[in-house]
Amino acid sequence: MMARSWVIVFFALESLSCAVAAPPGAVQRAGVAALDEQDFIALPSLRELDPEVRAELYRRAGGEPMANAGERFQSTDVVMEKLPSRRFVVGGRERGAGGLWVLCYEHGGIAYHYHVGVLRRSGDAFAVVSAGQWVPKPKDLQGSITLEKVLRAVRNGELLDDGHW
């Protein structure tokens, strides 16, 4: 049993080390330094997203089912029952007519992590402003993941380019 645990830990660490090895500057950061939570309306549920934004999120998440914030999901690679492997965490809509949307969801499996995307909506089209995989620092895991914490991670360049968005 102990050897099996070590193998799982090894593969999880190996997966994270690959993500950390992304080349510097690989994540798009144009215009994100000024992102401030005061400029956004927090949206704590998938139901609060505009239908077009929700559809874009599902499309960019590979079309797989996604649990809503607080719902059960498959957070590990040990499958005990059929649950979505992704769970919405928080979103944000820019106040006014700016068109920016911030989306964050959890992705379970052997290397549990978050995906964050900042999208600019122009009519029916969406452009990625900044996006990547996020492995929060321990201090960010105290309490819940909030829009403020997500925006700070984007501003500080903590997103790792994973080609997901």
In angstroms, the CA 42 to CA 105 distance is: 14
**Interacting residues of 124 by C-beta distance below 8 A, sequence separation 6+:** 52
Residue 30 has pLDDT above 60, yes or no: no
pLDDT tens track for 47-90: 999 999 999 999 999 999 999 999 999 999 998 899 999 999 99
Residue 34 has pLDDT above 90, yes or no: no
Residue 133 has pLDDT above 50, yes or no: yes
For the chain, domain boundaries? 2-155
Distance set, CA 165 to CA 55, 59, 114 (Å):
14, 9, 12
pLDDT classification of 10: cutoffs 50, 70, 90? very low
Q: 0.85 cut: is pTM over it? A: no
Q: Which helix (H) or strand (E) holds 42?
A: strand 40-43
